[in-house]
Chains A and B, each alone.
Chain A
Amino acid sequence: MRVWSLLKIYTLLVYGFMFAPIAVVLLLAFNSSQFGGFPIEGFSLRWFHELAENDAIIRALRTSLLLGALTALIATTLGILAAMALVRYNFRGKNWITTFLISPVLVPETVLAVGLLIFLRWLHMPRSFLLLLIGHSIIALPFVVLVVQARLIGIRKDYEEAARSLGASPLQTFFEITLPLLMPAVFAGALFAFTISFDNITATIFWRPSGMETVPTQIFGMLRNSVSPEINALGFVMICITVGLPLLAGAMARYFSRKKV
């Protein structure tokens, strides 16, 4: 059918639109030229070396990794507890609670950022790493709830009930049965929360204390009229972290689940 082929070509073009610019960044990271753009003069790992020696960037990377990991811890803990309640129990006002839990998504991030900043200012708490941490956690929480909830629906309640009827205590049941079954959901939620924190710039610009940079704010500060080749190399590294990690995790999960069966 001719129309169908046209639609397929259109779809390919849209995918091209989504990925071509990213491919260009990945490509230019290896360009030996002094400038961040075209033409490509030759292959070189020079910018990765420069990157590794750039203290400001390494410091920002460390801050971002720590912040992302702690955000994942907080958001996933809160998110899993909430998702368990939503999936496993029926109670009055459930729809209302669900909407409330995802409501931070619906507040523009700029407004969320200013609100929290002003509230803490009123409490005489200056900008700090802690503000970034609780802020990132609140931004990630709704997404974690949604992701974990979707995974939890797929886990049957029978196993827990079987464990209980065989004499396990509720706590034992949770740690021996529920949590292992939950692990993929925990993992998915944590990874999502990490990525959200690692990527955030809109709110981070408002919340970061002066002198503290995360990777996105560091890049933002380095962007003055032109893109330096170091930014391309940094982009390459970041994409490896945020795309490579989940893909690897997904592949591993698939491999192990196959092995078990």
Chain B
Amino acid sequence: MADQQIDRRPWILLSPALLFITALVVIPMAFILVYSFYENVDLAVDVPAFQFGNWQELLTDGYYHTAIWKTLRLSVIVTVLAALMGYIPAYVIAMTTYRHKWLLLLLLIIPFWISFIIRTLSWIHIFGNQGALNGLLGWLGLIEAPLQLMYTEFTVIVGFIHVFLPYMILNVYVSLEGIDRNLEPAARTLGATPWQAFREVTLPLSLPGLAAGCLLVFVLTGGSYVTPLILGGPGDFLFGNLVYDAIVTELNWPMGATLSFALLLLLGSVVILYSRFMGMNQLSKAFGR
């Protein structure tokens, strides 16, 4: 049979997807880099050049440094809070003997199906002047005028956690689910307290899932710009907002390209650091469900 030679069939099946990704992701990434050396002369007018003006601006202007700092800070806050909020539910779902466990899992998937923008703006109904919280406090007579809760860093953080929490819970759940059920009882028989058994056995074994969840939440938060536009005030911007401003508002394409490439380097280095330690397998596990 022809199979004796190198089997070409998988490559035929793969080629459309590989070509698609090469043409629409890999090559455009290279173009961003090339474009970052171009020069912007007027609104939406740029000339091909090889100069470092855009990069110099990025490296010397304090405004951009503030944005980088804000982005890293907010991403870390969101990631840590999502991990703290998400671990316990993942643990409960993995360990429960509840008959309708599938329902709990389905409820974790459903948020992925609900429009991101609807989920984000729904917080205006909670924290806004006409929101549920102010309505409740007013009804109880605790406040006279509505509290100004919206359009702050707090609401941006809540919005991000709300949208990204299912990623965290699913990833942790997948790794908890894979742990041998006999290990914790074994530790108990050997004299460990329930807390010790958890801390010494279950927690370390679930770290790959936790790390995968943290990576996803960190990278997704760091690359966003829409949530701060909807839930944040004027001072709540991320690095992605600068890209949005440069391309959509100022029509300064070379600067937009420079900022995009910087964002790619920033978040890409986090991904590379992660894959160095963890490999990429854990990430695909949660999505495959």
Q: Answer whether A and B are interacting partners.
A: yes
Binary interface encoding of chain B residues 110-131 relative to chain A, with 1 for a CB under 8 A from any of its CBs, else 0: 1111111111011111101111
From known contacts A116-B24, A141-B20, infer whether A38 and B135 are also in contact, taking CB-CB under 8 Å. yes
B-contact 0/1 string along A91-105, CB 8 Å cutoff: 100000111111110
Contacts of A198 in B (CB 8 A): 115
Q: What distance in Å separates the Cβ of A29 from its nearest Cβ neighbour in chain B? A: 11
Residues of B contacting A81 with CB < 8 Å? Answer: 13-14, 16-17
Q: Per a CB cutoff under 8 Å, which of B35, B131, B256 touches A38? A: B131
| B31 close to chain A: CB less than 8 A | yes
A residues 210-235 with Cβ under 8 Å of B? 215-216, 219-220, 223, 226-227, 231, 235
CB of B88 within 8 A of chain A?
A: yes
Interface string of B140-160 (1 = CB under 8 A from A): 000000000000000000000
Instruction: Please count how many residues in chain B sit with their CB below 8 Å of the partner chain's CB atoms.
Output: 86
Q: What secondary structure prevails in chain B residues at the interface with A?
A: helix
Does B201 touch A at the CB level, under 8 Å?
A: no
Inter-chain contact A114/B284, CB cutoff 8 Å: no
Q: Are B29 and A11 in contact (CB under 8 A)?
A: no
Contact check, A24 vs B126: say whether CB atoms are below 8 A apart.
Answer: yes
**Contact present for A89 and B7 (CB under 8 Å):** yes
Residue B76 CB within 8 A of the other chain = no
Q: Which residues of A contact B17 (CB under 8 A)?
A: 78-79, 81-82, 101, 141, 145
Complex: chain B residue closest to A88, CB-CB: B10
> Which residues of A from 100 to 141 have beta carbons under 8 Å from B?
100-104, 106-112, 114-119, 121-122, 134-135, 137-138, 141
Number of residues from A at the complex interface, CB < 8 A: 87
Stretch of B49-57, B60-68, B175-183, B224-232 on the interface side? B224-232
Q: Is A89 touching B162 in the complex (CB atoms < 8 A)?
A: no
Contacting residue for A11 out of B25, B92, B288, CB 8 A: B92
Decide if B226 touches A220 in the complex (CB within 8 Å): yes
Kindly list chain B residues whose C-beta atoms are within 8 Å of the C-beta of A77. 16
* Shortest Cβ distance from residue B89 to the other chain A in the assembled complex, whole angstroms: 4
**Main secondary structure on chain A at its contact with chain B?**
helix
Report the Cα distance A201→B230, complex, angstroms: 12
Q: Which residues of A contact B268 (CB under 8 A)?
A: 106-107
**Cβ-defined contact, A143 with B125, below 8 A:** no
Say whether B18 faces chain A, with CB atoms less than 8 Å apart: yes
Which of these, B86, B104, B284, contacts A146 with CB under 8 Å?
A: B284
In contact, A114 and B260 (Cβ under 8 angstroms): yes
B207 at the interface (CB under 8 A from A): no
Contacts A25-B125, A238-B115 known; list 14 others, CB within 8 Å: A22-B119, A38-B131, A79-B17, A81-B16, A88-B10, A102-B280, A108-B222, A111-B223, A114-B257, A118-B32, A202-B224, A216-B117, A220-B229, A231-B121
